Structure 1
Amino acid sequence: MEEFQQVAPVVSSLTDEKRVAFYKKTYTHLAMAVLLFVIVEWVFFQIEPLVNFAFSMTQGWRWMVMLGGFMLATNYAEKMAHKTHDINKQYLGLLLYVVAEAFIFIPLIGIAMMIAENGGANILNQAAILTLALFTGLSGVVLLTKKDFSFLKSILTIGFFIALGLIIAGLLFGFNLGLWFSVGMVVLASGSILYQTSNMVHKYSEDQYVGASLGLFASLMLLFWYILSILSND
């Protein structure tokens, strides 16, 4: 989980006007990150060698390499967005995170596109709608109640370590984690959305809207990944 370097009063201590302005900046940057993800994903799918390479990395131990590279890139991006006072580096961190997400999503989105092309449902749209609805509902709970969900940090940390261990074990021993794992990850991603939205309200300072948007984007994409995985395996 990210650390906070506050250089200004936390958002919860600001006037209503400044607090609303911070929320608007954060969610505007989140919307821009999602739009950029869609654009980068579209560009990636125009580059056939890149798509083939991404699919080849889903086989066996290569998937572990891909996951490791993704984790390194996203951890570095989070540090850039949260631990620097340079706004340009914060934006660069957010950009790096979006590009890394777009690359690792290539195989999953490719499978969803193939299902649609073969006469199946357009599960990409379904997954996007379900993700947006759940994200909006969970964010609304935090914003309306103003409850501090920071207590979820240790639960989420343990949950993610267990999930990572199961993923690695599945790759090493060749078993499918199945539907219930994806359902569990949806629950974990939902908890992460509550946690990140709570951080936006209670932990971040007024000038950390880029870092706040990155945290929300990460949780949103995790939720989208596992909802899309569930629909792809129906």
Structure 2
Amino acid sequence: METQPNSVQPFVGQLDDQARVAFYRKTYAHLAAAVLLFVLVETLFFQIDAIVSLALSLTGGISWLLLLGGFMLITNYAEKMALRSDDKNMHYAGLVLYVVAEAFIFIPLIFIAMVMADGGAFQILNQAAVLTLSLFTGLSAVVFLTKKDFSFLKSILTIGFFIALGLIVAGALFGFDLGLWFSVGMVVLASGSILYQTSNLIHKYNENQYVAASLGLFASLMLLFWYILSILSRE
């Protein structure tokens, strides 16, 4: 997620301690709210057979690529709503839109986890959640303790995600499994994205962009959760 240059308002790293802490508190409060909303929406989706059936019907070949393409378009639109508008209601609408889109695209993966777990789906989901939050917390701590600017990761992440997207497209078109090591590589990319997004809290956002900041963190967190869950579902 890209931030826009702001020539009027200072970046968070340039604010006094009180204002900076207030920004962090708002950002992570919104991140926690987004995670809670994701859980609620996901639970609701699994209560509606038509939605589950629709999501599962889109998991193969061209349909999966169309779903991913739609998700990317929604992601881009939600980010613009959360970042570029001066209307706070639009900021929240963008965040909610993105959370709902994430909940929908997660349906097939969670369904697979439920099938593979054979009754122990909640254990796998809990394990994936704990591992994800632990890694997320550790990476965030690295940024805040070192105060290092990880913006140099942008080009590396861009190349990595383009390569990953190419492999996903090839896998969908030619019907081959990308395998365990692809998921491991994506965990590494997601970890780099968390470092980058957390660094942006200090170096790229201004104090009014906490909703956009929480959306960026949520996107990286859910990417990490997706591939950790994918790895655990293979066991």
- What TM-score comes out, normalization by structure 2 length? 0.96
Measure how far apart 1:9 and its partner are. 1.1
Equivalent in the alignment of 1:129: 130
User: Structure 1 stretch 171-180 or stretch 32-41: which is displaced more?
Assistant: 171-180
When residues 120 and 100 of structure 1 are mapped into structure 2, their CA distance, relative to the original with a 3 A threshold, is closer
Q: Does 1:15 align with 2:16?
A: yes
Following the alignment from structure 2 to structure 1, what is the Cα–Cα distance between the partners of residues 167 and 81?
29
CA contact (8 A) 2:171 2:178 kept: yes
Aligned residues: 234
Following the alignment from structure 2 to structure 1, what is the Cα–Cα distance between the partners of residues 115 and 127?
15
Q: Does 1:184 align with 2:177?
A: no
| Structure 2: 5+ residue stretches without partners | none
Matched AA of 2:85: T
1:49-98 deviations in whole A, cap 9, x for unaligned? 11011011002211011101111111110111111111110110000000
Following the alignment from structure 1 to structure 2, what is the Cα–Cα distance between the partners of residues 24 and 128?
22
- What TM-score comes out, normalization by structure 1 length? 0.97
CA contact (8 A) 2:114 2:121 kept: no
Matched AA of 1:18: A
- Equivalence map 1:1-234=2 (5 Å): 1-6=1-6, 7-118=8-119, 122-234=123-235
1:102-141 deviations in whole A, cap 9, x for unaligned? 0000011112223344457821000000000000000000
When residues 130 and 156 of structure 1 are mapped into structure 2, their CA distance, relative to the original with a 3 A threshold, is same
- SS where residue 208 of structure 2 aligns? coil
Following the alignment from structure 1 to structure 2, what is the Cα–Cα distance between the partners of residues 202 and 180?
33
Measure how far apart 1:5 and its partner are. 4.5
Measure how far apart 1:3 and its partner are. 3.0
CA RMSD of aligned residues (A): 1.2
Matched AA of 1:184: G
User: Structure 1 stretch 117-126 or stretch 153-162: which is displaced more?
Assistant: 117-126
Task: Give % identity.
Answer: 74
The ranges of structure 1 where at least 4 consecutive aligned residues each deviate by more than 2 angstroms after the TM superposition are 113-121
| Structure 1: 5+ residue stretches without partners | none
